[in-house]
Structure 1
């Protein structure tokens, strides 16, 4: 019984009623569902939230962890084990060991504190999405947050005369990362008009960032969706036509600004190629010189001037602009091996789920999104943003749901 105590009054509720254990747990489960969706929704809106309050961006995930911990404590239930947990725990051990060795560095503690919440929230999301939060609801929330970010970026582009859309994030390339990671997920929405509108807004926002890495990532994701027949060619052609119309409108109404943006991006692109090559070489040197535990969390920024022989006088503490090289440089070969193992495990698990589930479309969309993340991260340091970790969690959760359903189907029935 969800409620207990006393005789019924005129309203039909027990006199002096109080919430029983089932009622409290049901309320907590609902709260956990809402907070899981809020966490992925708010991720691309970090800049807007920080403008309101310095800690507001962390509030949804912090509240999610707290509500989840209370719910599981009341249920006396541990998270259902999954191979991803083993990799995440091992990665946390390597991270802490690397941090302990390099704790004196100026960035070590700050970056260790950035790493650990992502590992924790991945564990929590795996458990929540496998039990309380419907997978499709989490995907819808992810897309909705990215759409809001894209609208904000496009509005800022028009209202403030920016040359590249950035919106809630400082770097247009980071915005492109969020948008192209969310765009493949629209195919799981299954509502034609909202899906079409969301896809066009996300694509337009990504195009307005002028991110070449984002364009490559989106191309790879769309290729996967086409290969899996998740997107009809007619729908793709319609989307391209809509973007072409928007492009023509931009040329007609903002031709000079668009020309200036293209020229600036061309100039910046040439510089980016040179600087990224320098940073990738520096990261490779760090891996070679510190293969066991790396240079520590945030150590790339600290050690870059020495590793590059002061190649960039005006930029002394940059990021590597390559997630894989940066992880390898900072956490060493063991840390990189675990990080890569997590990606491989997620890819293999996603493919197994796709082949065995009765409804493969959502997982195909997640696979395409993961492909976009993997490609975009070749040019960006994105281990400190949620899309990678939430996709890992969604795939593992889908696997646990499928296993549970299979166990129920195979269990002998009581006579």
Structure 2
């Protein structure tokens, strides 16, 4: 990754562009430093902790955020990004349909069908062999596909974008994951309200989606039973109640330094208690806190959480809320808004350690923020006016 980042930066600088130091970069360094200090104090500064610090806490995420403007500063590169994710949506949807419908010829790579690899074999889990990660990427791809359908210069791509968005909706259903269902539904409602072009298409789009989902629900073997079973399954709810209550006790035990970055899973057994209205499930003592925000509080304490949250707000949330410096960034900002909504639901209801979904979110946030992060190379007058 470092080599690719340096190559992109070098190419950008050779065109006359320049990175600019901003307050967000300082806060990123402070947040990483606090998390690293937390590991040292807790004695968890091993290979696993360092890997988690890089990929889960933010070193790698912050790096792609900073470098993304150097990659996606041209209109053509962003259009290519939209199309790539539309194509990815086709792949993920077909694999999900093939897995749940029992058509192995549609599933590649074959390890997706191996029950000994990964988890959630009974759900559409894609190449990630995990249904939440698959659902996040399907949701992201759906958002990009809608963008292709609305703004792509090619009529063929616009038609294809609409088809891919519908396929991704089917794939999202097949993940049989409530956090993804809720997040995708919330993102779709928000997009329909905020984007005028979608408001005009809301009724035919809703009818098409209902028909597609209804056909899958009716004719794909096991989907209706699986969806109903997931909707009624109380064990995941108990896991969340147990681990989140334990997380609150962890925070109470050390509110300043926390129990140590990447340490909640190993300490979980010490903090699990019997609830008044729910049992301690078998898996509760073996998993980490199922809420990213509470997990950060428990592991790195209140000061570290404030720094981490400040980075999230200044980098990702601000990119959604702030009007971009260039009008051609508006479609990507709308996609980022949908992505952030889905990710937030997943983060509120699970640990969200998924590498590709997290990296994609921060990459898009960096691309949307390009006007405030870099000094752009000289460009023809066709560049949208500030």
TM-score by length of 2: 0.77
Q: Distance in 1 between matches of 2:329 and 2:45?
A: 49
1:85-108 CA-partner distances (Å, limit 9, x unpaired): 223222211121112222347753
Pair 1:181 & 2:140 matched: yes
Please give the residue correspondences for 1:312-327 in structure 2 after superposition, counting only pairs within 5 Å: 312-327=281-296
Query: Quick one: structure 1 residues 197 and 373, their matched pair in 2 at CA, closer, same or farther if it must change by over 3 Å?
Result: same
Q: Take 2:75 and 2:261, find their aligned partners in 1: how far apart are those partners?
A: 34
Change (3 A) 1:84 1:183: farther
Contact 2:332 2:364 in 1 (8 A): no
Q: What secondary structure, in the 3-state scheme, does the structure 1 residue paired with 2:127 have?
A: coil
Shift of 1:218: 1.4
For 1:129 and 1:84, locate their aligned partners in 2 and report how far apart those are by CA, in whole Å.
19
2:262 matches 1:298: yes
- Assess if the C-alpha contact under 8 Å between 1:217 and 1:373 holds in 2: yes
1:258 pairs with one of 218, 223, 226:
223
Contact 1:184 1:368 in 2 (8 A): yes
Query: Once the two structures are superposed, what CA deviation does each residue of 1:331-350 show, in whole Å capped at 9, x if it has no partner?
Result: 22222212222232232343
> Which of 221, 226, 237 is the aligned partner of 2:203?
237
Which residue of structure 2 lines up, in the alignment, with residue 111 of structure 1? Answer: 52
The question of whether the paired residues in 2 share the 8 Å contact of 1:226 and 1:232 is answered with: yes
> Which piece of structure 1 moves more, 66-75 or 395-404?
66-75
Distance change >3 Å, CA 128–CA 192, structure 1 → 2: closer
What are the within-5 Å matches in structure 2 for residues 59-74 of structure 1?
A: 61=1, 64-65=4-5, 67-68=7-8, 71=11
CA distance 1:75–1:244, change in 2 (3 Å) = closer
In the alignment, which residue of structure 2 is the partner of 1:283? 247
Unaligned regions of 5+ residues in structure 1, if any? 1-60, 410-415
**Given the superposition, is the C-alpha separation of residues 89 and 146 from structure 1 closer, same or farther in structure 2, using an over 3 Å criterion?**
farther
**Separation of aligned partners in 2, 1:395 and 1:266:** 33
Q: 2:162 aligns to what SS in structure 1?
A: helix
Matched length: 348
Q: Which runs of structure 2 are paired with 1:20-31 in the superposition (5 Å)?
A: none
Residues 272-331 of structure 1 show CA distances to partners (whole Å, capped at 9, x for unaligned) of 111101111111221222222322232111111111148444453312221111122222
**1:167–1:273 Cα change, 3 Å:** same
Give CA-to-partner distance per residue, 1:325-381, whole Å, 9 cap, x none.
112222222222122222322323433224873663332222222222223321122
Counterpart check, 1:137 vs 2:80: yes
Q: Provide the rounded CA distance (Å) in 2 between the counterparts of 1:138 and 1:296.
A: 37
Query: In structure 2, how many angstroms separate the alpha carbons of the residues matched to 1:67 and 1:359?
Result: 24
Shift of the 124–232 alpha-carbon distance from structure 1 to 2, 3 Å rule, reads closer
2:163 maps to which of 197, 203, 206: 197
Larger radius of gyration: 1
Deviates more, 1:374-383 or 1:105-114: 105-114
Change (3 A) 1:96 1:251: closer
Measured after TM superposition, the shift of residue 155 of structure 1 is 1.6
Q: Comparing both chains, which one has the higher relative contact order based on Cα–Cα distances under 8 Å and sequence gaps of 6 or more?
A: 2
User: 1:204/1:254 Cα in 2 relative to 1: closer, same or farther (>3 Å)?
Assistant: closer
Tell me if 1:101 matches 2:36.
Answer: no
Are residues 247 and 390 of structure 1, via their aligned partners in 2, closer, same or farther at CA, if it must alter by over 3 Å?
closer
**2:26 aligned with 1:86, yes or no?**
yes
**Could you say if the C-alpha distance between residues 271 and 314 of structure 1 is closer, same or farther in structure 2, counting changes exceeding 3 Å?**
closer
Q: Residues 250 and 129 from structure 1, CA distance in 2 versus in 1: closer, same or farther, beyond 3 angstroms?
A: closer
| Aligned counterparts of 2:21 and 2:217: Cα–Cα separation in 1 | 54
Q: Which runs of 5+ in 2 are unaligned?
A: 105-112, 114-120, 152-156, 275-279, 381-386
